[in-house]
Amino acid sequence: MSIQTALQTVSKSGDTMTGDLLVNAGSDAVRLMGCTDLIERKSFLLWLGNSQNQLHYSVREPPTPVTMETGLGFLFKAHGTDVIWLGSWISTHKKYYNK
């Protein structure tokens, strides 16, 4: 293996990567990315810029929902226009769910 090839590989047991990571769909109808073998007391986190902005799932008993966490809130847009902005400054918290 050349030095250039060694510098471009990512360790399967853990590593840090710099630069853009682009995944082409190719001829497949679906491209999957994630973790499919979580067992109890294991988690999967996707950090979006820092540890305060993350998509998080833990396998626990009782089951828990997938959590999206952010330090500044959530902004939903449609066609480039702000539709809903939920921020951490909101003093009343509401839970919405369908039984």
pLDDT digits (tens, 9 = 90+) for 42-89: 999 998 888 888 999 999 988 889 998 888 888 888 888 888 888 756
Single-letter amino acid, residue 31: R
| Model confidence at 2: pLDDT above 80 | no
- Residue 52: inside a domain: yes
Structural domains in the chain (count): 1
pTM over 0.75: no
- Residue 11: inside a domain: no
- Residue 10: inside a domain: no
Rg (CA), the chain: 19
Domain extent, residue 64, equals 36-92
Looking at residue 1, its pLDDT comes to 56
Alpha-carbon gap, residue 84 to 54, rounded angstroms: 19
Query: What is the DSSP code string of 31-51?
Result: ---S-----TT-EEEEESSST
The pLDDT of 33-50, averaged and rounded, is 89
- Residue 82: inside a domain: yes
Looking at residue 59, its pLDDT comes to 93
Sign of CA dihedral 21, 25, 27, 30: positive
Give me the chain's average pLDDT, please: 79
**Furthest-apart CA atoms within the chain: distance in Å:** 59
